[in-house]
Amino acid sequence: MTGSSIPTVTGPVESYVAIGDSFTEGVGDPGPDGTFVGWADRLAGMLAAQAPPGFRYANLAVRGRLLGPIVAEQVPRATALAPDLVTFCAGGNDILRPGSDPDALAEQYEKALVQLLTRVGTVVVCTGFDTRGVPVLRHLRGKIATYNTHLWALADRHHCPVLDLWSLRSVQERDAWSEDRLHLSALGHERVARRCAEALGVEAAAPSSPVPPPAALTAAPSLPAAGPRSPAAARRDDLHWARHHLLPWIGRRLRGQSSGDHVEAKRPELLPL
């Protein structure tokens, strides 16, 4: 299934609010000033290019957030802002937790979706990535697929467009991911923004502000070169990743800490882009 099977937006989008976790905040895609850009900011640039003057955008996403806090904190705020469009990407961090239940998560997601639709013109439902090629996370593929199936069903039930990340083959390439293998690179974020624009029926012929020019959309320099690797090189890459990214991530989980502790939303107000 792809986003094109769900009704797209009608008319120009004049206001957009993004809610979610590190994926929507844009982690892995640093801008010139050190703040993250990310696919939602890039999508906002595409929408602004086609909207009447005065297009407004807010990004409430915060890295590390679980579905519960997103529903409790970001959903009411987005509902109160009553924009034309909301992208709702949440639940991925919950799926990573042992013992999480994708059925229960989907029920919680749907209640929040219904709340958003009381005031929001269009809500985009976001599926999870296919992790079959990701060390450790490949073992969660079944739970992600179950959650995605629920998301497709509720999107159909509530007539919402879908940002289908599971079938987006271009983000299964190594250059679409940052060194930590958990967050997209600038190139990956650009590909997601274009997929979301496609799901909305929005023209995305060229990036626009605040999107960097295409020449800047390259993979992180620290990523290993694309192409075949020897088994020894693959093991070295995996050990480097485990030492510098996986073990610190596990340590935070054991300590009950989050990368988003003490982090505020980067665009909390619905303001002109």
What gap in Å lies between CA 214 and CA 75, rounded to an integer? 33
Indicate whether 186 pLDDT > 60: yes
Q: Is a pLDDT exceeding 60 seen at residue 260?
A: no
Out of 3.30.70.20, 3.40.50.1110, 3.90.1150.10, 3.30.70.100, select the CATH number for domain 12-224.
3.40.50.1110
Residues 18-30 have a mean pLDDT of 95
Is residue 3 scored above 90 in pLDDT?
A: no
pLDDT in tens, 145-166: 999 999 999 999 999 999 999 9
Tokens of 261: 């502790």
Q: Measure Cα distances from 191 to 154, 196, 204, 214 in Å.
A: 25, 9, 11, 11
CA separation for the pair 53, 51 (Å, rounded)? 6
Q: Quick one: pLDDT band at residue 206, thresholds 50, 70, 90?
A: low
Cβ neighbours around 68 below 10 Å, total: 13
- Euclidean distance between CA atoms 213 and 209, whole angstroms: 9
Domain boundaries, the chain: 12-224
pLDDT per position as a tens digit, 78-127: 999 999 999 999 999 999 888 999 999 999 999 999 999 999 999 999 99
Q: How far apart are CA 126 and CA 85, in angstroms?
A: 13
Of the candidate ranges 140-149, 222-231, 246-255, the one whose mean pLDDT is the lowest:
222-231
> What secondary structure does DSSP assign to 161-183, as a single string?
-EE--TT-GGGGSGGGB-TTSSS
Say if residue 254's pLDDT is above 90: no
Top pLDDT among 223 and 149 is at 149
